[in-house]
């Protein structure tokens, strides 16, 4: 099954779809996405992207990201992607909480591949007793960290992390939510 992303106008309106596998290139069109932060017991999850990922392989980032499918509510896409990337049952998650509704970014990785996304940012709380297992095609490794330690690491060494994570953490609303 071909995964589609929803393309966006400069005004943030849907203008069509395209296959995800064909969108992320050196000339990526603006499209809709989301970024999600997972918390549990006062800690926040950071993940290292699988080395096989097309963009930013091996880079540390927030818990997971994705794209809403055509006609799919973004909060529903967050739950779908949590299941796909981290193996988390939706019943083990709180309802996604929208923190940065107007976040967008454009970044170019070392291969020249461009991310160009309207990318609202969510937080989701994981039940303490939840069983989960990251998908190795998505996640190389992970670490639960204290928010203050994450903020300090991101401030001191931004090049270690994904550019969208650094930009998101620059917003005081996200830092307060974590």
CA distance 172 to 152: 14
DSSP 63: S
Does 138 belong to an annotated binding site?
no
| Chain centroid to CA 54 | 14
Contacts of 142 (CB under 8 A, 6+ apart): 45, 46, 47, 48, 134
Does 24 belong to an annotated binding site?
yes
Contacts of 117 (CB under 8 A, 6+ apart): 30, 31, 32, 33, 104, 105, 106, 164
Q: Which residues are catalytic?
A: 65, 117
Does 168 belong to an annotated binding site?
no
Does 115 belong to an annotated binding site?
yes
| Structure tokens belonging to residue 142 | 């992970």
Does 73 belong to an annotated binding site?
no
CA distance 162 to 129: 29
Does 85 belong to an annotated binding site?
yes
Binding-site residues from annotation for Mg(2+)? 85
Known binding residues are 24, 31, 67, 85, 115, 117
Annotated binding site for Mn(2+): 24, 31, 67, 115, 117
């Amino acid at each position: 099954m071909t995964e589609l992303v929803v393309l966006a106008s400069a005004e943030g309106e849907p203008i069509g779809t395209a296959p995800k596998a064909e969108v992320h290139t050196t000339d990526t069109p603006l499209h809709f996405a989301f970024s999600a932060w997972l918390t549990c017991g006062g800690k926040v999850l950071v993940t290292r992207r699988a080395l096989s990922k097309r963009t930013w392989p091996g880079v540390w980032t927030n818990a997971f990201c994705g794209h809403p499918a055509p006609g799919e509510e973004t909060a529903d896409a967050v739950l779908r992607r949590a299941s796909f990337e981290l193996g988390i049952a939706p019943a083990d998650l709180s309802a996604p909480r929208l923190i940065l509704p107007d976040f967008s970014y454009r970044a170019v990785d070392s291969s020249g591949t461009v991310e160009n996304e309207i990318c609202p940012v969510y937080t989701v709380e994981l039940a303490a007793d939840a069983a989960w297992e990251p998908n190795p095609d998505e996640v190389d490794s992970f670490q639960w960290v204290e928010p203050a330690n994450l903020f300090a690491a991101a401030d001191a060494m931004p090049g270690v992390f994904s550019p969208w994570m650094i930009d998101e953490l620059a917003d005081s609303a996200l830092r307060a939510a974590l």
